[in-house]
Amino acid sequence: MTECIFCKIINGEFNTEFVYQNEYAVVFKDINPKADTHLLVVPRKHIESLNEVDDEVLLGKLMMTVKEAAKVAGLKSFRTVINTGKDAGQEVFHLHIHILAGSIRL
Ligand code: AMP
Ligand code: ZN
């Protein structure tokens, strides 16, 4: 049984609403938003951080997912952030890409 909070979300354990999803990733609202719109793009596969990624195709798919999710959310301008490692502020050790738009409080 996984202890990873994002794996649990992906498995539907919290009935989290997905703003967008595809074969590679799910996208949902950050629980503690740092911007008017704050979404997280999370690969279905558990990978701890960008440092552990060895699949460049998946990385490309994730960036395409960012673009698709932003479009679905009606965002034309947005910032993407990937925190890698504890000292950079990574709190959840399942790779994710932040999408921030509107007034950003980072
Ligand atoms: P990071 O600091 O890059 O690891 O970002 C982790 C993000 O996950 C933070 O912005 C948290 O607010 C968010 N987060 C943690 N738990 C949840 C949850 N259950 N649902 C949605 N977002 C979450
Ligand atoms: Zn996970």
Per-residue model confidence as pLDDT tens digits over 52-88:
999 999 999 999 999 999 999 999 999 999 999 999 9
How far does residue 60's CA lie from ligand 2's centre (Å)? 19
Q: What is the domain class of 5-104 according to CATH?
A: alpha beta
pLDDT at 2 over 80: no
- In whole angstroms, give the CA distance from residue 70 to residue 41: 10
Mutate which of 31, 48, 95, 105 for ligand 1? The one with the most ligand atoms within 8 Å of its CB, which is 31
CB-defined site of ligand 1, < 6 Å: 5, 30-32, 40, 83, 89-92
Residue 34's identity, in one-letter code, is K
The answer to whether 41 touches 97, Cβ cutoff 8 Å, is yes
How far does residue 85's CA lie from ligand 2's centre (Å)? 15
Domain map (residue ranges) of the chain: 5-104
How far does residue 38's CA lie from ligand 1's centre (Å)? 10
- In whole angstroms, give the CA distance from residue 45 to residue 76: 28
106 band by pLDDT with thresholds 50, 70 and 90? confident
Per-residue model confidence as pLDDT tens digits over 9-58:
999 999 999 999 999 999 999 999 999 999 999 999 999 999 999 999 99
Q: What is the pLDDT of residue 1?
A: 60
**Positions marked active-site:** 96
- In whole angstroms, give the CA distance from residue 49 to residue 40: 14
Read out DSSP for 9-73?
Answer: HHTTTT-PPPSEE-SSEEEEE-SS-SEEEEEEEEESS----GGG---HHHHHHHHHHHHHHHHHT
